[in-house]
Amino acid sequence: MSPLAAGASPPAAAKPETPSLARTPLHALHLRNGARMVPFAGYEMPVQYSAGLMAEHRHTRASAGLFDVSHMGQIVLTPRSGEADDAARALEALIPVDLLGLPEGRQRYGLLTDPSGGILDDLMVARLPGRLVVVVNAANKAADLAHLRKHLPEGIAAELVPGGLIALQGPKAADVLGRFADIATMRFMDVREVAILGAPCLVSRSGYTGEDGFEIAMPEDRAEEIAEALLADASVLPVGLGARDSLRLEAGLPLHGSDIDPGTSPVEAGLAWAISSARRQGGARTGGFLGSERILSELARGPARRRVGLRPEGRAPVRAGAPLFAEESGGAPVGRVTSGGFGPSLGAPVAMGFVPTALAAPGTRVFAELRGARLAAIVATLPFVPAGFKRG
């Protein structure tokens, strides 16, 4: 047997233990929990534990899953002035989000754009007293830091800070974390500095699964102890990168490097919602970010293509790279699948990809090429699985 297509997640057959790979503070904990380790973004990471991907996925939707996301980049922006507004103003030149209007104790999803309007990375920006904290994708953290340092003014220091980062996701996440810290009153996208087992932590109510949940930044040397304490709760199962990918796919969330990249614009990617009205035409601070010309024009006129959800008919998963066609036979490809696999909560294959705007309406039938045949797939609204965020 040989792997045909591994989609966006790490290949099953990859061999771990490459000595050059970095390890997170939870490495020993992963091994104790029967993790299968794979290389991912320069780290040795758990793709699944002994329960297996399917069980981990379902457990997260039904109860709570604990994810090691310590490989992601935590970048702190500290203005010399001590005023977070100064960092927010400066970062607005790189991200089309209203950061000056971001209240202390809140975070927003944002996109780091390039001069041609492509997406360098997607990230979270949180405002804390006297600083901003930016959480970026693991594979991009060095490039993001260099980009920030190149473009931010001299008075704004950008540092990649070490630390453990754990995501606790699922409908029982708040109950579990609530036993350790005062988080019950937090709403979706709130951030709060709390002590967990006496360790200073930064908690945000957010995640990458479509469920209610939290991301918890903590000192490296306390990460294992805190993770063990959370895992001691019977509601919590450790969850690997495999289920992280299937959960985010069902939640309709794009993966940078697969669904979005410098070749895709925010509007094409269906992420126009992440561009604040203050930064749009007619807003208080229109434009003024890298790539604004193209992005504002696409907001006004619509993009030529769109990222859409796809529900393949039948049971065969359609994976990243599959060409998409308008017709069942003949013609040239009109688009491409960028993520795809099997949705354990849906019990059916799900995918995302780009199609021309004329084919982007939900219900449109397109065709994906799979092993030489064309399989029908229906354009679907995202997310595939309703979100469980605590917005109220």
Partner 1 sequence: MLRFTDEHEWLRLDGDTATIGITAHAAEQLGDLVFVELPKVGAKLTKGEAAAVVESVKAASDVYAPLSGTVTEVNEAAVSDPASIGGDPQGAGWLYRLKLDDPADMDALMDEAAYADFAK
Q: Which of 253, 211, 191, 251 is nearest to 64 (CA)?
A: 211
Query: Is residue 367 within 8 Å of residue 325, measured between CB atoms?
Result: yes
Count of residues in contact with partner 1, rule CB under 8 A: 30
User: Does residue 3 have a cis peptide bond before it, meaning omega lies within 30 degrees of 0?
Assistant: no
Q: Which of 121, 122, 245, 268 binds partner 1 (CB under 8 A)?
A: 245
Q: Which of 7, 73, 213, 270 binds partner 1 (CB under 8 A)?
A: 7
Residue 253 CB, nearest distance to partner 1 (Å)?
16
What mask, x for binding partner 1 by CB under 8 A, covers residues 56 to 75?
A: -x------------------
Query: Which of positions 321-380 make contact with partner 1 (CB under 8 A)?
Result: 341-342, 344, 349, 371
Give the three-class secondary structure for 199.
strand
Q: Which of 241, 224, 235 is nearest to 43 (CA)?
A: 241
Query: Is residue 77 within 8 Å of residue 158, measured between CB atoms?
Result: yes
Closer Cβ to partner 1, 270 or 341, answer by number? 341
Q: Which of 295, 315, 309, 299 is nearest to 359 (CA)?
A: 309
Residue 372 CB, nearest distance to partner 1 (Å)?
11
Dig out the tokens for 174 from the structure.
């708040």
Residue 385 CB, nearest distance to partner 1 (Å)?
14
The stretch near partner 1 (CB under 8 A) out of 94-102, 223-231, 256-264, 309-317 is 309-317
Beta strands in 228-358 (DSSP E): 236-238, 305-312, 323-325, 335-343, 348-356
The stretch near partner 1 (CB under 8 A) out of 10-18, 62-70, 77-85, 212-220 is 10-18
Those residues whose C-beta lies under 8 Å from the C-beta of residue 19, and which sit 6 or more positions away, are none
If one asks whether residue 2 binds partner 1 (CB under 8 A), the answer comes out as yes
Annotation-wise, does 44 bind a ligand? no
The stretch near partner 1 (CB under 8 A) out of 80-88, 153-161, 215-223, 237-245 is 237-245
150/16 Cα distance (integer angstroms): 35
Closer Cβ to partner 1, 47 or 167, answer by number? 47
Q: Decide: residue 247, CB within 10 A, 0-12 exposed, 13-18 middle, 19+ buried.
A: buried
Binding site for partner 1 (CB under 8 A): 1-7, 9, 11-13, 47-48, 52-54, 57, 242-243, 245-246, 315-317, 319, 341-342, 344, 349, 371
Residues within the annotated binding site for substrate? 215
Residues within the annotated binding site? 215
